[in-house]
Amino acid sequence: MLKCAICENDSRFEPVLSKGAEAGFTCHLKKCPRCEFIFMDPQPDVDLQKNLINTSTVYDSKLPDEQETQNRQIILDYIERFAKPPGRLLELGCARGYLLAAARGSGWQTVGVEFSSKWAEYARSRLKLDIIETWLDGDSFDLKLTGKFDVIVMWHMLEHINNPKRFLERVGPYLKNSGILIVQVPDFAKLGETIVGCHHLNYFTRDTLRRLMEHDYYVIDVTYDYVNKFVSMAMCKTFSVLFVWRLMEFPRIVTASLHTITAQGFTEFLRQAREKIRHREFRIKSR
Ligand SMILES: [Zn+2]
């Protein structure tokens, strides 16, 4: 029996559904009654997970590399609402590296991490990218990275990671204090059973993703893709007046924020930010 990866509750998970998946594996989803996080329990062992991701065809593409790279511009535009090049950008779970190639074209110094040797090799040889090949999970990983990054991107990878809270704690030190963390995951609340397969361990909703992130980060943007039913979030580690000023500097960000940061709008967003800063200051003083 697992502990809830978000609130660490370790008892009485509610069954959500059971579904036969690939490779004869039956996927059982459970929900934490305390924080509503939905996850697979039990989880397939690491070798099976690797095999399932490596052999899955859902990530395949027949488009030319240039087109794939061009298609990532929309993700890059999202990232660059919060941070501009030059700087260092790390993508965890970079697959063939198309987003990194687009980011490099925009002036970022890029590093990718990918566990699949075929994709890592593709990104290195075809796109000439700097790629580290290693398995990623919440228990152990060795990124062999030096220095910190201005941006860390996890685009459709956090749903594959066991113990995502622990994983985020391990990734945190690689992000600069002024850095931005960008995440996109499928939304289980909207996609439901259609995304259930044994290669996803976590089934986030907007609320549970936010709950997870708010342990260590300030959520500065939540954007919803209504077509694909994906949720994107941008987070920062330190929330300063300077950061708010940077947001104000770009009217389109403020406009986007009014729709997305909280349902109550920007005033509520600022109130929450001030409260968190106070809370953090209190924690520092009380140590
Ligand atoms: Zn929980």
Whether 261 has a pLDDT exceeding 70, the answer reads no
CA–centroid distance, 30 to ligand 1, in Å, is: 11
Whether 238 has a pLDDT exceeding 60, the answer reads yes
CA–centroid distance, 100 to ligand 1, in Å, is: 34
CA 198 to mean position of chain CA atoms: 19
For ligand 1, a single-atom ion, the residues with CB < 5 A are 4, 6-7, 9, 32, 34-35, 37
Tell me what pLDDT residue 122 has: 94
What's the pTM value of the predicted model, to 2 decimals? 0.83
User: Please, which pLDDT band fits residue 281 given cuts at 50, 70 and 90?
Assistant: very low
CA–centroid distance, 161 to ligand 1, in Å, is: 16
What average pLDDT does the chain have?
Answer: 83
Alpha-carbon separation of residue 31 from 2, 5, 13, 161, 271 (angstroms): 11, 11, 5, 17, 31
How many percent of the chain have pLDDT more than 70? 80
Tell me what pLDDT residue 211 has: 92
Buried b (16+ CB within 10 A) or exposed e, 82-110: bbebebbbbbbbbbbbbbbbbbbebebeb
CA–centroid distance, 38 to ligand 1, in Å, is: 8
Domain with CATH 3.40.50.150 in the chain: 61-238
CA–centroid distance, 160 to ligand 1, in Å, is: 18
Whether 283 has a pLDDT exceeding 70, the answer reads no
3-state DSSP of 84-107: CCCCEEEEECCCCCHHHHHHHHCC
Amino acid identity of residue 269, one-letter, is F
3-state DSSP of 15-78: EEEEEECHHHCEEEEEECCCCCCEEECCCCCHHHHHHHHHHCCCCCCCCCHHHHHHHCHHHHHH
Query: Which CATH homologous superfamily contains domain 61-238?
Result: Vaccinia Virus protein VP39 (3.40.50.150)
pLDDT digits (tens, 9 = 90+) for 107-130: 999 999 999 999 999 999 999 999
pLDDT digits (tens, 9 = 90+) for 169-196: 999 999 998 899 999 999 988 888 777 7
CA–centroid distance, 212 to ligand 1, in Å, is: 10
